[in-house]
Every structure is written in C-alpha cells, then in structure tokens.
Amino acid sequence: MEKNKYSIIVPTYNERLNIALLVYLIFKHLRDVDFEIIIVDDGSPDGTQQVVEQLQQLYGEDRILLRARAKKLGLGTAYIHGLKHASGNFVVIMDADLSHHPKYLPSFIKKQLETGASIVTGTRYVKGGGVHGWNLMRKLTSRGANVLAQTLLWPGVSDLTGSFRLYRKSVLEDIISSCVSKGYVFQMEMIVRASRKGYHIEEVPISFVDRVYGISKLGGSEIVEYLKGLAYLLVTT
C-alpha cells in the first residue's frame, strides 16, 4: 500500500504565539504519521515569520515550510498558494488560532483510512463535538445560518462553515478551482460543491474553543455577505 503523507496548510496573520503552540501540539499528537506543515503567512507585522524560522530550526525545514506572501490576500488564495507547495497526497486545512485543536488530527486520519473518504470534515454540531466561548447572539446566528443553509442547499453535512477539514489533494485541487466566494461563504461553497460533485464526505466531531472573548466575527455585513453567498450557491449548484 502506498504510504500516505499529510500536508497541513495553516494560513496565518499575526499569530506569532499561536503558531508556535500549534506546531508543538501537531508534533505531539501526530507521532507515527508522515506530515509537513505549510504556513502561509500574509506578511504579518508581528514577527510571525521569525518565530516560524525558529521552529524550522527546531523541527527541521523539511517538516515546516514557510511560504509567505507579501500582504493580506485572503483565505481562498492562501489555500491555493499552500496547495502548490504541498507534497503530500492528503491536505489538512486548519486555523492557526488554536480553535482547531491538533488532537483531533488522528481521528480525521483514522476516519479517512476506515472509510476511504475524499473529504473528512470536522463538525461542531454532533455528539462529541461542541463550542466554547460563544455568547447567545453568536449561537443564534450560527444556528440560524446553519438551518437556512441546510434547508436550502441540502448539503449532506451538518457543519458547513467550519474549516477544519482533511482533503484528498486531487479533490481539493478540483473543487478549489471552481470556488469564487470569500470568508465564511468560501468554506460553505467548498463543501457544497464537493457534495454536488459526488465526492465521499465523512464527518468527525470536533470541539471549537474560541479564546478571543467578546469579539464576534459575525457582524451585520457578514450576515449580508452570508445571505448573498447562500443565494449564489442556490442558483449555481
């Protein structure tokens, strides 16, 4: 059997502390797995890249790849950029802010091996998963958005906007090229398009701990963007 290699793509912007903690935790939880971490840093002014260079010296430049870009260019293109440098046959995408805990990586890999799925997506809305640090408003918008999307799109997955996912590399390359949205909607578009193309998608429960209290990423303009994205997906898929 062919040996699997996992490329973990982490987009960063001003995550100098979190990226170090994340890298440590990834190495702690993935011991018998061949993997590389690809950090796509969008020109953070806080010295994220210097910390990554220190980590490279500690763990090896073949395990941690720094693929920086000059300025903030958005999440979708960060994935494409990281994907170009990925040498594994599987790609994991996760956030750098530790809301996605590396301890779930083995369950993603195990699920994929068991089912042969093309995509394994982390879900916060099933037993064993969960969210911490969200206020009522955040929960309400999250539920509302989810019910709306489930009713209109029938995607077959319970968590559309989460971004902690494992992809077969060829599958990610295939769907990412047909996605045009940004931000939250981008995550949703990827999974909806994958579902429409008939790729085998599996889910694993994850917990999502929001450490940045008080800052709601879901403002009024985000909700409008979300609704526009939903309508766009409804007519194009």
Partner 1 sequence: MTLLVAISALWIGLLQTSIIPRSHTWLLPIYFIVSLGCYGLLMVGVGLMQFPTCPQEAILLQQDVAEAKEFLKQKGVDVGGCD
Which residues form the interface with partner 1 (CB under 8 A)? 16-17, 20-21, 24-25, 28, 46-47, 50-51, 54-55, 58, 98, 101, 103, 124-127, 129-133, 136, 139-140, 143-144, 146-148, 150-151, 207, 209, 211, 234-235, 237
Pick 89 or 237: Cβ nearer partner 1 = 237
54 versus 115: smaller Cβ distance to partner 1: 54
Q: Which is nearer to partner 1, 87 or 236 (CB)?
A: 236
3-state secondary structure the chain: CCCCEEEEEEEECCCHHHHHHHHHHHHHHCCCCEEEEEEEEECCCCCHHHHHHHHHHHHCCCCEEECCECCCCCHHHHHHHHHHCCCCCEEEECCCCCCECHHHHHHHHHHHHHHCCCEEEEECCCCCCEEECCCHHHHHHHHHHHHHHHHHHCCCCCCCCCCCEEEEHHHHHHHHCCCCCCHHHHHHHHHHHHHHCCCCEEEEECEEECCCCCCCCCCHHHHHHHHHHHHHHHHHC
How far apart are CB 186 and partner 1 at their closest, in Å?
Answer: 21
Q: In the complex with partner 1, which residue's Cβ is closer, 113 or 148?
A: 148
Give 71 or 127: the residue with its C-beta nearer to partner 1: 127
Shortest Cβ distance from residue 77 to partner 1 (Å)? Answer: 26
* Residue 139 beta carbon to partner 1: minimum distance, rounded to whole angstroms: 5
Nearer to partner 1, 1 or 213 (CB): 213
CA neighbor of 26 nearest in space, from 54, 1, 63, 53: 63
Least Cβ distance, residue 123 to partner 1 (angstroms):
10
Question: Shortest distance, CB of residue 115 to partner 1, whole angstroms?
Answer: 23
**Minimum distance from residue 47 beta carbon to partner 1 (Å):** 8
